Amino acid sequence: MSMMGTRVVRTEDHKLITVGGSYVDDLREPDLDGAVHAMFVRSPVAHARVTAIDSREAARAPGVVAVLTAADLDLDPPGGDHAEPWLAGDAVRYVGQPVALVLTERRYQLADAAELVDVDYDPLPAVIDLDDALAGTTLLFPGTDSNVAKTHGKPFDESAFDGCEVVVTRRIVNQRVAPAPLEVRGAACAWGADGRLTMWLSTQNPQLARDAIAGGLGLDPTAMRLIAPDVGGGFGAKIGADPDPVVLGWAARHVGRPVRWSETRSENLTAMTHGRGQQQTITIGGSRDGTVRAFGLDVVQDGGAYPRLGTTLLPGMTTLMATGTYRIPRVEAYSRSVLTTTTPTAAYRGAGRPEATAAIERAMDLFATEIGMDPAEVRRRNLIGPDEFPYQTPTGATYDTGEYAAALDRVLAAADYDGLRAEQTRRRAAGDPVVLGLGLASYVEITAGDAGGESGRMTVEPDGSVTAWTGSSPHGQGHATSFAMVLADQLGIPMERITVRHGDTDEVAKAVGTFGSRSLQLGGSAMRQAGDEVIEKARQLAAEAVEASVDDIELNTDDGAWQVRGAPSGAISWAQLAARAGDGALSADVWYSDAKPTFPFGAHLAVVEVDTGTGKVVLRRLIAVDDAGPVVNPLAFEGQRHGGLAQGAAQALLEEMTYDADGNPTTGTLADYEFISATELPDFELLDMATPTTLNPLGVKGIGEAATIGSTPAVQNAVVDALSHLGVRHVDMPAGPQRVWQAISDANRRV
C-alpha cells in the first residue's frame, strides 16, 4: 500500500528533540578550532556621511585580533546598481548597516571591543515616508535624479474605469514586517591548507550562497565549499547570502584563522532584510449587480536603502497576481520601487503575492459594502469557474487548475457563515460592546514562480538501502521525510532505509534550493525523475538476471521485489540488483528542468471579536481551505499551513517594523516587535481539498506560503467587517488596539 498521503512522523525530529539541532552556532567542527569570534559594528544612524573611523582604542581592548573597516578590504565592490557595499565606506543609509568588523579571541570580548570603535557620522536627512522618497527632495544616491530604483507594469490608465457604475478607491498600507526566523543569521568559516574556503551558513540556498560569496571574494565557485547545517527557519530572508558572510570569508583569510559569527536578535531585526512594505492605491469598478469590471493596483514599494529582491523582483509578483481568483477584464497594475533610509526589503513568506491578495481582497470588500451586497456573494459572482482553466489573466499569468468557488463554499459551510452573520446582527442590535466580525479571503498564488530547475540524485547501495541528495535544502520543512516518502513509494524500499542528504555544495554542486514554495514540485519531482531512471536501469539488470524480456519485468512496490510479471517466485531484491550492478552503478543524477509555475489557491474565513471600548481585537476562529494538490505527508502539509496562518494573522493584527522620522527603528528589539505568540491565536480549522496540477509528475503545487497569503486579508477584512455598522470602511494593518480604537472614534465623530 502506498504511504503517500499518510501521516508519517518526521525522521528529522529525534535529534531535534533530544540533543537539539546543529545550527551554525552549535558547530564544534575541528576545522573551526581556534576560530576568532566576529561582530559587526553597525550604523546607529539612518543616513550620514562617515567622516572618520577610529578603531585604535578598540584594537587595544582585551582579546581583540583585528578591527576591520572598508579601508582594509581589498575586494572588488559588489556588482549591481546601488549595491550595498561590503562594509560602509563614506556613507551609511540605514540603521544596522555594517560599518566595521571586530574580531576577538572569545565571544564575550566582542561587545566590549565593538563599543570602543569610534565612528564619526555627519548626519544627512533621513528618508522614511514613501511620498517624501518619491518626491526625491533628498536623494539616497547622489548623481541620480530620483529615488525610484525600478518599476513594474505600466503607469495607470484611469480610463479603465470609464463606464463603471460604481468605482471605489482607497489608499492602503501593506506594512513592513520582520521575517524573524527564530535562529538569527550566523556563519562560520575556515580556509583549508589547499586554499579552499569552507563556510557554514544559515541559508536556504547553499549553492546560490556559495556562488554569491565566492563571487564576492573573487573565487571560482569550486574553490569554496558551503554547508548549510540545520537552519532555524528562513521565511525568505535567508535566500542566498547577504553581504556579511563575504566580509567574514575575507576576514578569515586576512587574519589567517577560522571565523565564527552569530548576530544578536536586535541586530537581526534591523540588519536582516525586511518583508512587504507597500503603499497601495486600489481602485475597483463594476456594476451594482456585483460584477467587477475593472481593478487598479498602484503600488509604491519601499525598497529600503539598497535594492534587493524587494525592489527588483517582488513587486512584479504583486502586479502579476493583481486580479487574484477573479475574472476581471480590465486591470491596471503598476509598481514603483523607491529607496528609503531603512533596512532593505526582500522576500518574506509569500514575497509579493500576499501584497497582491491583500489588495484585491480588501477591494472586493470595499466594493461589496459600496453596493450593499454580502462579500461572499460578490466574490462568488466574480470567481473564475472550474471550466475556465487554464486561465490567462490580463496581467499575463496562466493559472493551471482551480476550484475557487468550491473552496469558498467549503469555508462558508464549515464556519456556519449564516449563523455567524445572525450572531453578528444580534450583538449589534443588543448594543454588545464586543462586536463580531467575519472576514473572507479567496486567494490564488504562484509557486515555483522562478521557473528554475532542481537537482535530484540517488543511488541504491549494495545493501539495498538508498542514499539520495536533493538540491532543495530545507530549514524546517521536513524534506528528508517527504522526499524519502516519494522514493519509498516509487521504489518499494522502506523509508527507514532511505537517507536524504542536502545542504553541502561538495555533495550537491548544482542546485537552486528552497524558496517560493518550490521544493516538492521541483525538488520532489527531481527525486521522482531520478527514481524513474534508476527503476529503468534496475529493470534492465533484472531482465538480464532472470533472462527475461525487459517488458516482462515489473517492480512490486509493496516490497521492492523485481519479478517477472505474474511470477513472484524467483523475485530479485534491490540489494541483489545493486550488487550485480557494481559500485554505485544503480544511480541517477538528474536536473529536473520541466519546471512550470503552479497556482495553489484557497479560501480563508476569519472570525474576530472587537472590544469597542479599547479597540482590542481577538482572533476567535480561522477556517481554511488551502488546495495545493495531492498531499504527500499531511502532517508536514498541515504544519506548513499552521505556520502560514499564524504569520498571516500576525501581519494583520500585530507585527510591524516601524521607524521614527529620523529613521531610528522603534521596533528594533524582540521586546518591541510584536512577534505573535500562542495566546493570540486560536486553534486552526483546516479543511481538505486537493485539485491536482498537470504540470509536474507528482501533481503537486507549493504549500509553504499559501496560508500566509489568504489569512492576512481574511483577518483584516474581519476587523473592518466588525466595525462596518459604525461606518468604518478600512483599518490599516496591523490592526492594533490604538488604530482600531481610533477608527471607532473617528466613525463615532462622523455620526
Partner 1 sequence: MIPATLSYRRASSVDEALGMLAEHGEDAKLLAGGHSLLPLMKLRLAAPEVVVDIGRIEELRYVRTEGDVVAIGAMTRHHDLHTDGVAGREVPLVAHVAGEVGDPQVRHRGTIGGSLAHGDPAADLPAAVLACDATLVARGPDGAREIPAAEFFAGLFTTALGPDEILTEIRVPRAADRGWGFEKFTRRRFDWSIVGVAVLGGSPTQPAVGLVNMGEAPIRATAVERALAAGATPAEAAEHAAEGTSPPDEPHASAGYRRHLATVLTARALERAAGGSPAGL
Partner 2 sequence: MRVTIEVNGRRTEEEVEDRTLLVHHLRDTLGLTATNIGCDTTSCGACTVLVDGESVKSCTVLAAQADGAAVTTVEGLAEGETLHPVQQAFQDHHGLQCGFCTPGMIMAAVSLLEANPRPTREDVRTGLEGNLCRCTGYHNIVDAVVAASGQEVPR
Summarize as ranges the residues that interact with partner 1 (CB under 8 A): 107-108, 111-112, 115, 264, 266, 613-614, 616, 654, 658, 660, 666, 669, 671, 674, 676-677, 679-680, 736-738, 741-742
404-415 vs 417-430: helix axis angle to the nearest 10? 50
C-beta neighbour count of 510 within 10 angstroms = 13
Instruction: Provide, rounded to whole angstroms, the least separation between the CB of residue 249 and ligand FES.
Output: 27
Say if residues 652 and 618 touch (Cβ distance below 8 Å).
no
Say if residues 318 and 299 touch (Cβ distance below 8 Å).
yes
Say if residues 363 and 295 touch (Cβ distance below 8 Å).
yes
Candidates 332-340, 362-370, 409-417, 475-483; binding stretch for partner 2 (CB under 8 A): 475-483
x/- site string to partner 2, residues 588 to 627, per CB under 8 A? Answer: ----------------------------------------
Place of cell 482572533: 619
> Measured between alpha carbons, how far is 272 from 398 in angstroms, rounded to an integer?
33
* Whole-number Cα distances in Å, 575 to 542, 583, 626: 11, 12, 40
The CA radius of gyration of the chain, in Å to the nearest whole number, is 27
> Measured between alpha carbons, how far is 278 from 739 in angstroms, rounded to an integer?
18
Place of cell 524480456: 549
Instruction: Provide, rounded to whole angstroms, the least separation between the CB of residue 675 and partner 2.
Output: 5
* Whole-number Cα distances in Å, 95 to 242, 644, 659: 16, 29, 10
Phi and psi of 499, rounded to 5°? -110, 125
Instruction: Provide, rounded to whole angstroms, the least separation between the CB of residue 104 and partner 2.
Output: 14
Is 158 near partner 2 (CB under 8 A)? Answer: no
Instruction: Provide, rounded to whole angstroms, the least separation between the CB of residue 639 and ligand FES.
Output: 9
Which of partner 1, partner 2, ligand FES, none lies near 517, with the C-beta cut-off 5 to 8 A by kind? none
Instruction: Provide, rounded to whole angstroms, the least separation between the CB of residue 637 and ligand FES.
Output: 16
Is 30 near partner 2 (CB under 8 A)? Answer: no
Is the Cβ of residue 15 or residue 56 nearer to ligand FES in the bound state? 15
How many residues can be counted in the chain? 751
Instruction: Provide, rounded to whole angstroms, the least separation between the CB of residue 502 and ligand FES.
Output: 17
- Binding partner 2 (rule: CB under 8 A), the pick from 679, 749, 750, 751 is 679
Which of partner 2, ligand FES, partner 1, none lies near 339, with the C-beta cut-off 5 to 8 A by kind? none
Which of partner 1, ligand FES, partner 2, none lies near 693, with the C-beta cut-off 5 to 8 A by kind? none
Q: Which parts of 249-278 interact with partner 2 (CB under 8 A)?
A: 264-266
Instruction: Provide, rounded to whole angstroms, the least separation between the CB of residue 682 and partner 2.
Output: 9
Strand order in the sheet with 91-92: 91-92, 48-54, 118-123
Is the Cβ of residue 300 or residue 411 nearer to partner 2 in the bound state? 411
* Whole-number Cα distances in Å, 705 to 205, 249, 443, 513, 711: 17, 32, 12, 15, 11
Q: Could you list the residues that contact ligand FES (CB under 6 A)?
A: 182, 233, 476
Instruction: Provide, rounded to whole angstroms, the least separation between the CB of residue 367 and ligand FES.
Output: 38
Candidates 24-32, 216-224, 437-445, 564-572; binding stretch for partner 2 (CB under 8 A): 24-32
Place of cell 496560508: 707
Q: What is the residue-wise DSSP string for 730-741?
A: --PSS--HHHHH
Is the Cβ of residue 1 or residue 678 nearer to partner 2 in the bound state? 678
Q: 663 in helix, strand or coil?
A: coil
- Report DSSP state, residue 35: P
Is the Cβ of residue 266 or residue 693 nearer to partner 2 in the bound state? 266
Instruction: Provide, rounded to whole angstroms, the least separation between the CB of residue 9 and ligand FES.
Output: 15
Is the Cβ of residue 12 or residue 504 nearer to ligand FES in the bound state? 12
Which of partner 1, ligand FES, partner 2, none lies near 18, with the C-beta cut-off 5 to 8 A by kind? partner 2
Instruction: Provide, rounded to whole angstroms, the least separation between the CB of residue 232 and ligand FES.
Output: 6
> Measured between alpha carbons, how far is 719 from 738 in angstroms, rounded to an integer?
13
Say if residues 189 and 248 touch (Cβ distance below 8 Å).
yes
Is the Cβ of residue 405 or residue 676 nearer to ligand FES in the bound state? 676
Is 25 near partner 2 (CB under 8 A)? Answer: yes
| C-alpha torsion 303→308→312→318, nearest 10 | -70
Which of partner 2, ligand FES, partner 1, none lies near 25, with the C-beta cut-off 5 to 8 A by kind? partner 2
**Cell numbers for 65:** 585580533
Instruction: Provide, rounded to whole angstroms, the least separation between the CB of residue 477 and ligand FES.
Output: 10
Is 19 near partner 2 (CB under 8 A)? Answer: yes
Instruction: Provide, rounded to whole angstroms, the least separation between the CB of residue 640 and ligand FES.
Output: 12
Q: Which residue is nearest to ligand FES (CB)?
A: 182
Is the Cβ of residue 572 or residue 654 nearer to partner 1 in the bound state? 654
Is 645 near partner 2 (CB under 8 A)? Answer: yes
| C-alpha torsion 490→493→494→499, nearest 10 | -90
C-beta neighbour count of 478 within 10 angstroms = 22
Which of partner 2, partner 1, ligand FES, none lies near 613, with the C-beta cut-off 5 to 8 A by kind? partner 1
> Measured between alpha carbons, how far is 312 from 248 in angstroms, rounded to an integer?
26
Instruction: Provide, rounded to whole angstroms, the least separation between the CB of residue 633 and ligand FES.
Output: 16
Give the number of residues in contact with partner 2, rule: CB under 8 A.
55
Is the Cβ of residue 234 or residue 296 nearer to ligand FES in the bound state? 234
C-beta neighbour count of 141 within 10 angstroms = 16
Taking phi over 0 as left and psi of -120 to 50 as alpha, with beta for the rest, 613 belongs to alpha
Identify whether 390 is preceded by a cis peptide bond (ω within 30 of 0).
Answer: yes
Instruction: Provide, rounded to whole angstroms, the least separation between the CB of residue 450 and partner 2.
Output: 22
Is the Cβ of residue 15 or residue 288 nearer to ligand FES in the bound state? 15
CA dihedral over 103, 106, 108, 113, signed as positive or negative: negative
Phi and psi of 134, rounded to 5°? -65, -40
Is 14 near partner 2 (CB under 8 A)? Answer: yes
Burial 693-718 (b: 16+ CB within 10 A, else e): bebbbbbbbbbbbbbbbbbbbbbbbb
Instruction: Provide, rounded to whole angstroms, the least separation between the CB of residue 13 and partner 2.
Output: 4
Residue 469's H or E segment, with its range, is: strand 466-470
Candidates 271-279, 298-306, 639-647, 716-724; binding stretch for partner 2 (CB under 8 A): 639-647
> Measured between alpha carbons, how far is 83 from 126 in angstroms, rounded to an integer?
19
Which of partner 1, ligand FES, partner 2, none lies near 638, with the C-beta cut-off 5 to 8 A by kind? partner 2
- Which residues, at least 6 apart from 544, have a Cβ–Cβ distance to it below 8 Å? none
Candidates 115-123, 367-375, 428-436, 668-676; binding stretch for partner 2 (CB under 8 A): 668-676
> Measured between alpha carbons, how far is 617 from 598 in angstroms, rounded to an integer?
35
Instruction: Provide, rounded to whole angstroms, the least separation between the CB of residue 637 and partner 2.
Output: 10
Is 10 near partner 2 (CB under 8 A)? Answer: yes
Which of ligand FES, partner 1, partner 2, none lies near 737, with the C-beta cut-off 5 to 8 A by kind? partner 1
First-to-last alpha carbon distance for the chain, in angstroms, is 65
Q: Which residues bind partner 2 (CB under 8 A)?
A: 9-10, 12-14, 16-23, 25-26, 28, 107-108, 180-184, 230-233, 235, 264-266, 475-478, 635-636, 638-639, 642-647, 669-671, 675, 677-679, 681, 683-684
